[in-house]
């Protein structure tokens, strides 16, 4: 959700009527964009890029100026995008970490499973993230299966993978030292 270049590319594809939003984005004036994006969404609620851009702005401003979390706002905007574009990789990636509550972990697992299918270049990263969600829900067998698949591929080694391996994968099954 913090990919400014992606946000700019999407914004530049908007019709010319949104030029002021694009200019503010290019100048990094995210707080100034929010009221314009909200008004634009009210006028054209099916223009999904507007929701993505507003979620991007919320992420850039998170706890910097407002003293309150904008994560629920980000979550609502990303959920709206995914209603119409269920395979939007950028929205799916951002949708998982926006709000981490036990109630939302099953949704995160669904999103990460979909990302593993449509974003194969990052399958191991998504699978480690999914293993975390399984672990947090108490399903260590599913988490272990994900971790073993990542270890088998051998294409990813992160602090998260190390941490989860220590707690979930028995030492004799690890393929690492």
Q: What is the pLDDT of residues 10-61, one digit of tens each?
A: 999 999 999 999 999 999 999 999 999 999 999 999 999 999 999 999 988 8
Give the best-scoring range by mean pLDDT among 83-92, 114-123, 160-169.
114-123
Helix (H, G, I), strand (E, B) or coil at 139: coil
CA distance 18 to 31: 16
Q: How far is CA 170 from CA 101, 130, 166, 173, 177, in A?
A: 27, 19, 8, 6, 12
Q: What is the pLDDT of residue 64?
A: 59
Q: What is the pLDDT of residue 3?
A: 81
Query: Quick one: average pLDDT of 151-162?
Result: 88
When pLDDT is cut at 50, 70 and 90, the band that residue 65 belongs to is low
Q: Are 23 and 32 in contact (CB under 8 A)?
A: no
Q: Is pTM, for the whole model, over 0.75?
A: no
């Amino acid at each position: 959700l913090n990919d400014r270049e992606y946000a700019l590319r999407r914004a530049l594809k908007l019709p010319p009527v949104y030029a002021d939003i694009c200019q503010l984005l290019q100048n990094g004036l995210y707080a100034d964009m929010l009221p314009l994006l909200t008004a634009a969404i009210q006028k054209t609620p099916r223009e999904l890029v507007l929701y993505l851009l507003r979620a991007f702005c919320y992420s850039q401003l998170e706890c910097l100026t407002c003293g309150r979390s904008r994560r629920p706002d980000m979550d609502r905007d990303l959920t709206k995008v995914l209603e119409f574009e269920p395979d939007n990789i950028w929205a799916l990636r951002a949708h998982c970490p926006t709000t981490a509550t036990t109630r939302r972990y099953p949704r995160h697992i669904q999103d990460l499973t979909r990302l593993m299918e449509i974003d194969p270049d990052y399958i191991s990263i998504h699978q480690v993230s999914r293993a975390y969600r399984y672990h947090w829900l108490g399903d260590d067998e599913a988490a272990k299966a994900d971790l073993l698949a990542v270890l088998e591929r051998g294409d990813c080694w992160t602090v998260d993978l190390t941490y989860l391996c220590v707690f979930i994968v028995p030492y004799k099954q690890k393929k690492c030292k």
